[in-house]
Amino acid sequence: MATKLVRKKIETKELEQITDEGFVKEAKSLLGYRVLETAWTFKKVLDILNELGIEPFDDVKVVAYKAERQEALFKRTRRSNNWGGTVTTTTRGEWVMDRLSGYRKEVPAFALVRAAAVKKALNKAKIEGTFHVEELQKRTSRSESRPAFDPFMVLEVLDRKLYLDVWDEPKFEGRRTK
């Protein structure tokens, strides 16, 4: 059964009790407790995405989808060689992440527009975030060619990954849903 990528509405219920930024800073300075500050900052990131009308893909679905696509590429081929022996070639998929700034393939305009809007809002809020493209690369034991599939636009912020867009995957409709 193929996993369908779906967007997930951002919920910040567990973070709603953190309403006072002053208390967050006080917990850090008085108690040395930084976890609350990270949660507060991540809540700001989620609020920014909500304000921009961006729903990232559901993490659970992304993990399942990536595993299925990787498994679908796995293949082992055996053939006889000229000397009476057997040659085995293994093809596998490997997810590779590159910074967007160093990515050398075309990225659709809709993904770049969304990434730029998020980056502007993060900069305004003084929150560090980096954009990456994560794609499935096909690798074989006999060659260095690495065709790529299913590129995702990924926002990495506070050691967390948010999958914002995908293109060139099998069920791609060529349009944003929001």
Distance CA 18, CA 57 (A): 25
**Residue 99: per-residue pLDDT:** 97
Considering the domain boundaries, does residue 1 fall inside one?
A: no
Is 18 found in the same domain as 93? Answer: no
Report the range out of 7-11, 23-27, 34-38, 105-109 with the highest average pLDDT: 105-109
Number of domains in the chain: 2
pLDDT band at 117; cut points 50, 70, 90 = very high
Residue-range definition of the domain harbouring residue 141:
56-178
Average pLDDT over residues 135-144: 76
The 10s digit of each residue's pLDDT in 69-95 is 888 877 767 777 777 777 777 777 889
Is 123 found in the same domain as 140? Answer: yes
Is 64 found in the same domain as 31? Answer: no
Average pLDDT over residues 26-48: 82
Is 97 found in the same domain as 34? Answer: no
**Residue 53: per-residue pLDDT:** 93
Q: Give the start-end residues of each E strand in the chain.
A: 75-80, 86-99, 130-140, 148-157, 160-166
Count other Cβ atoms within 10 Å, centred on residue 169: 15
Considering the domain boundaries, does residue 6 fall inside one?
A: no
Under 8 Å CB-to-CB from 161, ≥6 apart: which residues? 154, 155
Is 46 found in the same domain as 74? Answer: no
Is 44 found in the same domain as 94? Answer: no
Distance CA 97, CA 112 (A): 17
Average pLDDT over residues 9-28: 65
Which range (130-134, 135-139, 163-167) has the least confidence? Answer: 135-139
pLDDT at 143 over 70: no
* Buried b / exposed e along 117-153 (16+ C-beta atoms within 10 A): bbeebbeeeeeebebbbbbbebbeeeeeeeeebbbbb
Is 156 found in the same domain as 117? Answer: yes
Closest CA to 134 of 113, 155, 112: 155
pTM of the model: 0.77
Average pLDDT over residues 91-115: 92
Which range (41-45, 132-136, 138-142) has the least confidence? Answer: 138-142
Is 64 found in the same domain as 26? Answer: no
CA distances from 13 to 16, 44, 124, 169 (A): 5, 13, 24, 32
Count other Cβ atoms within 10 Å, centred on residue 114: 22
Is 85 found in the same domain as 35? Answer: no
